[in-house]
Structure 1
């Protein structure tokens, strides 16, 4: 049986042949014998064969490209590697005629579990150690895509991403289209997100963003949008994540099961988002989607509805929802607690405004499961950020909520009462007793009802009742 030295000697002998056609045939004959081993091909011999070309700067290009191209084709044969976004192997006419033969040889050589292990070891061996010649960038690029594919099968997402990072996309001997660069960048982003490396993923996503305009391919655009949604999710920009997930969930190019998964992610991130007008709009949009109520779990739909209608969320409901969160969505936030606990606390502060006119910090703390000082800090932060319309009476340790009639979505959308010209006017809230504020509300409501009745009568919308 030939040893590694025997292979090296044979390769040296073939390299000394002056006739290029004869040299090519000798190389291919040796490659055929290595792939046609009775059991499985020798890993070391195949690595030595590959490195003979990838590390050489003296092999004539016409010889090297034909032989190394067929060598790479044989290594890729029998795999489910996606060809899109990879460099293609350029072969001359004779090489194209030999292509199917070496595809068959490669498929047979690497059959079975042991064959896949040999394939991976060969690819890693050829690519290891550096010193790869520039003339074979095309072939080594395909090997790196194959290496990434094999690592993905083992769920080594970070290793697969790093394999793609080694592909030279700038300053290389081959001409690389923007489409190919974009495909590589997006694939790296998706792999990095699979292993939670969202910081690195953001770098490659930024590069992809500069090239996304060059493609009209639906699959590439879909991958880009999905990657953007997941990056928003990982970076705790939950409002933007929910919007992107919801948009993607309508794409018919995605399987129904995956679309529902995107919808579930949209609901989850909308609930985790900070309380405020932006989240309210996202929640309203999701609540109008019938799929939320028919295809997702009832507990998720209930949680969404409670958030939308600003009902107080109980601890047991939070615990049930938390069980379905991903690891990064359980991250601790400044001020203590998780992202979910902060979102629910802020939501419950706003929900109290629909139940109470004012509330003590102690009572608010009981609802939020916080001490009075922490409850006050939560409310103060929301007021400062414009996400809660209220004011604080520090001496009395009370939180006063402003009138909510001017915040209603329908009232804001219409601007007037019934479209009859009765404007909603906001008044500055001054610290007053609860009874005084209540009397004012009754008085203002009565005035509006009288004005509305007068407008209706003037427009003749209701016929006059004849006298008895």
Structure 2
């Protein structure tokens, strides 16, 4: 009997504390009242508006909520009322832009093992709200934990707003954890959603272009860059520094230092993080891009010259190229004794069909082989063998066409 009375008293108190606020009262933030309590709800609502409607009403309300929740006497027997108070506490902290405090208030809500029966959809809503608040203050590590919980429940809802929030949170988590290829793909996908305001869609598009440029050089990034390049909004609605970098990255042109600095001015704090080997995420992305771009200009390049282009010393330039070759993101091989980087395939700037596909116009096709993880000496022997066979084939083709007299050939 005492607990029944206590729940009714606390329920009336919660109604008064919530009065006059803009907190959305649904799901776990809603208070279930019996018939008698419903009759008194209007009275308590008016009392709350009167008590907290003054100049310092917000401060007083916050103090009362904190005071009630700090007591241990409310634990266990009135989970419904304390849950609503946690939502109210989080709402008040959000008004003060204390995002971490607001998230921690929601973390206190007992969603598992509670005396209340809480649906999976309501749990999902709370988890997603915690994720958004943690991302707002940059606590992406904790946000990932709650996002993983939400991922187990996302299939239970058909709510468009919840699904959109899930996709956007996923994109931001990819962004914070430096998984820029995945982040760019998700941002671009969300930027087409008509439920989002036009200004916000352009922000998503901007984030997609930015993260695609920061992504590691390779085939996956090339596909994303090509997809963004086909989006007309990139060239009509975004700053020139963004689409200039996008085009240079896509067409594999060498990016200059002044262009990097202009682009870097628009990056967020976590996108300026230092990476292993020195430099920022952007500097690494541009270095790797410029290594690949050199392959479109040169057949081979010394590490001293490559370092000059990358603003690195020769050893660091060699390390960058070697890592890209090992990861399969650069078709090239290294001549260690001569300190040269040889690019495996010729660039698209060779438009002459004979030069690209044949040797001397005799119809002998050039073979483009995958880079194999063998020693330098084995690779050298293989190339000598292949060259000898091609010379033999060319010589035989010349003889068959009668271009050299038989006596001379003998």
Same fold judged by TM-score > 0.5?
A: yes
SS, match of residue 388 in structure 1 = coil
**Alignment correspondent of 1:293:** 235
**Alignment correspondent of 2:303:** 361
SS, match of residue 134 in structure 1 = coil
SS, match of residue 77 in structure 2 = helix
Report how far residue 199 of structure 1 moved: 1.0
Asked if structure 2 preserves the Cα contact closer than 8 Å seen for 1:406 and 1:426, the reply is no
Distance 1:206 1:303 in 2: 34
Matched, 1:342 2:284: yes
SS, match of residue 319 in structure 1 = helix
Out of 53, 59, 66, the residue aligned to residue 2 of structure 2 is 59
Asked if structure 2 preserves the Cα contact closer than 8 Å seen for 1:287 and 1:304, the reply is yes
Which shows bigger deviation, 65-74 or 180-189?
65-74
Deviation above 3 Å: which 4+ runs of structure 1?
A: 404-408, 427-433
Report how far residue 84 of structure 1 moved: 4.1
Out of 239, 262, 267, the residue aligned to residue 325 of structure 1 is 267
Report how far residue 162 of structure 1 moved: 0.6
Q: Kindly tell me: are residues 338 and 405 of structure 1, through their superposed partners in 2, closer, same or farther at Cα, counting changes over 3 Å?
A: closer
Matched, 1:314 2:280: no
Deviations 1:147-180 (A, max 9, x none): 0111111111111111011001111111111011
Out of 85, 89, 100, the residue aligned to residue 158 of structure 1 is 100
**Alignment correspondent of 2:353:** none
Matched, 1:269 2:211: yes
Out of 94, 119, 131, the residue aligned to residue 61 of structure 2 is 119
Asked if structure 2 preserves the Cα contact closer than 8 Å seen for 1:313 and 1:344, the reply is yes
**Alignment correspondent of 1:196:** 138
* 1:410-449 alignment runs, 5 A limit: 426-427=368-369
Asked if structure 2 preserves the Cα contact closer than 8 Å seen for 1:406 and 1:424, the reply is no
Distance 2:232 2:308 in 1: 35
SS, match of residue 217 in structure 2 = coil
Asked if structure 1 preserves the Cα contact closer than 8 Å seen for 2:295 and 2:347, the reply is no
Asked if structure 1 preserves the Cα contact closer than 8 Å seen for 2:99 and 2:133, the reply is yes
Matched, 1:223 2:150: no
Deviations 1:307-331 (A, max 9, x none): 1111111111111111111111111
Deviations 1:38-74 (A, max 9, x none): xxxxxxxxxxxxxxxxxxxx7241x233332221112
SS, match of residue 196 in structure 2 = coil
Deviations 1:429-461 (A, max 9, x none): 86699xx99xx9xx99xx9xxxxxxxxxxxxxx
Matched, 1:183 2:183: no
Matched, 1:74 2:16: yes
Distance 1:309 1:348 in 2: 11
Report how far residue 181 of structure 1 moved: 0.6
**Alignment correspondent of 1:237:** 179
Structure 1: give runs of 5+ residues left out of the alignment.
1-57, 409-422, 448-468
SS, match of residue 359 in structure 1 = strand
Q: Kindly tell me: are residues 145 and 404 of structure 1, through their superposed partners in 2, closer, same or farther at Cα, counting changes over 3 Å?
A: farther
Structure 2: give runs of 5+ residues left out of the alignment.
351-364, 372-378, 398-410
Q: CA RMSD in A?
A: 2.5
Distance 2:34 2:160 in 1: 33
Distance 2:279 2:226 in 1: 27
Q: Kindly tell me: are residues 404 and 147 of structure 1, through their superposed partners in 2, closer, same or farther at Cα, counting changes over 3 Å?
A: farther
SS, match of residue 174 in structure 1 = coil
Q: Kindly tell me: are residues 85 and 402 of structure 1, through their superposed partners in 2, closer, same or farther at Cα, counting changes over 3 Å?
A: farther
Distance 1:113 1:307 in 2: 56
TM-score normalised by structure 1 residue count: 0.74
**Alignment correspondent of 1:387:** 329
Distance 1:320 1:137 in 2: 54
Asked if structure 2 preserves the Cα contact closer than 8 Å seen for 1:77 and 1:104, the reply is yes
Report how far residue 342 of structure 1 moved: 0.4
Distance 1:232 1:204 in 2: 14
